[in-house]
Structure 1
Amino acid sequence: MRSTRTGAATALLAALLFALLPAAPAAAAPGPTVALSQSEAGKGGEITVSGSGWKPGALLMLLVCGQSAPGKGVIGGTNSCANTDGRAATVDAKGAFSQKLPVAEPPKPCPCVVHVAGVTGQQDTVDAEFTVAGHPTAPLPEPSGAGRLAVLASVRLEGSSGVLVWFGAPARREVVFTVGNLGSTPVKDPVFEVGTSHGVFAPQYEERQWRGTIEPGRKALVKLPAELAAGAHGDYQVSVRYGGKVLVEQPWGVGRPWGVTLFWLLLAVVVPAALFRIGMAIVDRVRPEGHRQNRGGSPHQSGSGPHGRRRRRAPVPDRTPLPVPAVPAAGEPTAVLPWFTPDSAPSENSPTTKGQS
């Protein structure tokens, strides 16, 4: 009986100890990976880039980049990559992809990598070591200083578009964010890289130097200018990079420059009207003299014949009425005509010559 109780107490103690033990950590989900069909190839060749562990439906950009190494990133940014020979790949439902990539010589010397970066759906980047046969090599540049900058606050775009942007002028903004120095040495006048991207294209970075010193453990507000090309419109993304690492990514929506469309519509109306006026002026100059002087009237009204000759008008008869002689009133003497006298007037009693004979 006593042994039974001892066994039950031992079992209970073992159960309690098992419950108090920390649970074994779950296996971490594998991150995205990249594999190459060949580790070395010459210019003009082709390799197959495959990967797994990516987010389904993500769009990836594949580039051959120089001055790079796995774990250190692309030091020169996309300016160190053969951008014109890059390829895009879409991750399937299982998180895998496979894409052929032509081998091209990057603008920077090797060591080289095949740089796989997420464009939409996933922002991870993976570099696979690769050798471009016949391409020059050079040691990687030494990192400058031990200061490390990290973004501590939310990112925003400041500024507004002026009237000229409505007519196609370049849109400008300021990328504003707060950084902190997590290193052990101060960072003086850091040089950031600001780039803009549209669609599946990789950002084109430009250097922007921020004036000031950030002491270890301190933070600072950074404002960097960003600008798009003239006439740019649509959905863009602004990226800020420091030391080969992307610190900031912010969407930027730019409206369509409707002023340009309005200008072309007005031009389509004004130019034909001006050409019509010029044509009418030319026609008026080469027209015969008679038609030019009496443009718009009939030949009878203008006095011109059908062949442009001047036709003489017929004289208009004078229709002024003749004066009517006044009738004398009773008792007034009658005016005597010079060729007729009262004595020469025949009387009723005087015989005629015919009657006398």
Structure 2
Amino acid sequence: MAVLLAAILPALLLTATGAGAAGRTAAEPEPVVTLSQKEAGKGGEVTVRGKEWHPGTLLMMLICGQSTPARGVIGGTNSCANAQGRAVTTDDKGAFTRKMPVTEPPVPCPCVVHVATVTGEQVLADAVIVVAGHPVAALPRETGDGRLAVLAATRLEGDSGLLTWFGAPPSRRLVFTVGNLGSAPVKDPVFRVGTAHGVYAAQWEERQWRGTVEPGRKARIELPVELTAGAHGDYQISLKYGTKVLAEQPWGVGRPWGVTLFWILLCLVVPAAVFRIGMAIVDRARPRPGRAGGRRRPSPRAGVTARFPKPRSAPSAGKAPSPGTTAAALPWFTPDSAPSEHRPTTKGHS
């Protein structure tokens, strides 16, 4: 049995190695961006062509300053003319052709046409362009041979407080420890913090840390992270130094229920207030008893009591009716026409 295993094991290893080699595919080609002309002035137009992108990918094209294909867009999107950017979607072969206006970026050149994905995994490519008449300045000096690497897991610290429940921007501190693996010190390194929500590509912002990391040393770094007002859902916070992503950290942000409660109360209070105001106006406009034409409105009881006859009052004893007046007779008794003094008196009969 041992002899059989010894004979079969090399064959199995050879087969596995061959299968692994056969399973490896060639690395996907890098996306390519070319321009119809290398130099153009403000107000001109340049045609941008691209290939080797994924089919059906939405891309954004920007003209950015302080950038080179080797170092990328150093200042992030703050170095780009964002208002004059153009969007384009690749075809079934991963290629595209799109014209875009030439504008001056907010920072000096060297300049590039920066093309990057809008959704999904971030893929980008740059093409050098010279914007005629725009100032040119030297790129920021790199920090030598220093190489930073994250030595411990990143984490988000802090809380947003009660105001976040009412739509205030959620904020945290991205805390991590880096070590200098190079041979030169790294002074005031500039990191880039990316915020991605759902399927959308990360939005990058620069964060500079003040300090120096000596070769072979480590440092604890805290960078502020803030989302937009009313943000909620699942977010992915990424940390990049240079062109390398050092760490990623998920962040679940709760829904600002205070805003929902506010709108519910608003929908209940405003109609109630309008109803109260309307009723007050109607009450003031309604005529009051005794004010219409100077006459008092009869009360409802008056109409009911008027239907019944009023009893006639008899003259009081010892008081003779005044001349010219007749005594009121009861409705069920009519006195004789003869005066009472001439009326014969009757006596009881046996």
Distance 1:176 1:116 in 2: 31
Report if aligned partners of 1:75, 1:244 keep a CA contact under 8 Å in 2: no
Structure 1 segment 101-180 matched on structure 2, within 5 A: 101-159=100-158, 162-180=161-179
Q: Match for 1:128: what amino acid?
A: A
1:238 aligns with 2:231: no
Structure 1 residues 129 and 346: CA distance shift in structure 2, 3 A: closer
Q: TM-score of the superposition, structure 2-length normalised?
A: 0.66
Structure 1 segment 21-170 matched on structure 2, within 5 A: 30-159=29-158, 162-170=161-169
**SS in structure 1 of the partner of residue 178 of structure 2:** strand
Report if aligned partners of 1:91, 1:97 keep a CA contact under 8 Å in 2: yes
Q: Match for 2:102: what amino acid?
A: V
CA deviation after TM superposition for structure 1 residue 175, in Å: 2.2
Distance 2:348 2:41 in 1: 154
Q: Hey, what does 2:203 align to over in structure 1?
A: 203
Segments of 5+ residues of structure 1 without an aligned counterpart are 1-22, 293-297, 306-310, 320-344, 349-357
Q: Deviations over 1:261-289 (max 9, x none)?
A: 33212212111212222332343344444
Q: TM-score of the superposition, structure 1-length normalised?
A: 0.65
Q: Deviations over 1:222-268 (max 9, x none)?
A: 33221112123455443444457654455545444343233212212
Report if aligned partners of 2:146, 2:183 keep a CA contact under 8 Å in 1: yes
Aligned residues: 289
Q: Hey, what does 1:332 align to over in structure 2?
A: none
* Higher deviation after alignment, 240-249 or 82-91: 240-249
Report if aligned partners of 1:63, 1:115 keep a CA contact under 8 Å in 2: yes
CA deviation after TM superposition for structure 1 residue 202, in Å: 6.7
* Higher deviation after alignment, 92-101 or 80-89: 92-101
1:182 aligns with 2:181: yes
Structure 1 segment 222-261 matched on structure 2, within 5 A: 222-234=221-233, 236-243=235-242, 247-250=246-249, 252-261=251-260
Distance 2:222 2:312 in 1: 98
Q: Hey, what does 2:265 align to over in structure 1?
A: 266
Structure 1 residues 78 and 89: CA distance shift in structure 2, 3 A: same
Report if aligned partners of 1:195, 1:239 keep a CA contact under 8 Å in 2: yes
CA deviation after TM superposition for structure 1 residue 40, in Å: 1.5
Identity %: 66
Report if aligned partners of 2:36, 2:48 keep a CA contact under 8 Å in 1: yes
Distance 1:347 1:261 in 2: 101
Structure 1 residues 299 and 61: CA distance shift in structure 2, 3 A: same
CA deviation after TM superposition for structure 1 residue 53, in Å: 2.8
Q: Hey, what does 1:215 align to over in structure 2?
A: 214
Distance 1:253 1:48 in 2: 42
Structure 1 residues 316 and 280: CA distance shift in structure 2, 3 A: farther
**SS in structure 2 of the partner of residue 220 of structure 1:** strand
Q: Match for 2:65: what amino acid?
A: G
Q: Match for 1:229: what amino acid?
A: T
Report if aligned partners of 1:65, 1:82 keep a CA contact under 8 Å in 2: yes
Report if aligned partners of 2:175, 2:221 keep a CA contact under 8 Å in 1: yes
Segments of 5+ residues of structure 2 without an aligned counterpart are 1-20, 292-296, 314-345
Report if aligned partners of 2:122, 2:201 keep a CA contact under 8 Å in 1: no
**SS in structure 2 of the partner of residue 131 of structure 1:** strand
Q: Match for 2:228: what amino acid?
A: A
Distance 1:35 1:346 in 2: 148
Structure 1 residues 27 and 165: CA distance shift in structure 2, 3 A: closer
Q: Match for 1:231: what amino acid?
A: G
